Structure 1
Amino acid sequence: MGLQMTEQDIITIARQTIWIIVQTSMPVLVISMIVGLVISLIQTITSIQEQTLTFVPKMLSIFITLMILGSWMINRIVEFITQLWGNFGQYIH
């Protein structure tokens, strides 16, 4: 008789998955938010109210962040997937 996956196992996997998503998306979101805030402050100070002005700096900051932290983000995701696949035998009945 094999092991059977319980509701607690499903909740644990879902919680771990959500945590990995938060960890890997947070750097990009925070940098984008900071750049948007700085550009908004500059627009307020200079009275330039061009809505499209934030697009290019945000895209550049996201691109640079992904270049710097992309390997770390991919490694975290790969480690998690490897762990899930390594324990796959426990999850099926």
Structure 2
Amino acid sequence: MSAGLVLTGGASSLEGVAQLAESIMHMPVRVGYPRGVKGLVELVNSPAYATAVGLCIYGAGRPSNGYKAKKGSPMYERLLDRLIRWFKEVF
């Protein structure tokens, strides 16, 4: 992995964890944050949600029964709206 390592999840927010991982792995390490999220950015803009948000965005772009939900399409927007509503209800 020449580009380095990306840490996600709640523990990646712990102070010094990225530096510790760099010293152990001998490669660049950074903390990953969700990108490309509209709406409740302040709610999900945390390493704790990076993997879940990334998987939702990835899944929204995958073909399902021959149809691919492209970013900006009604299907993509509906999925994103559902995800945002779910985050509001749970958190």
TM-score, normalising length: structure 2: 0.34
Q: Which has the higher helix share?
A: 1
Q: Which has the larger radius of gyration?
A: 1
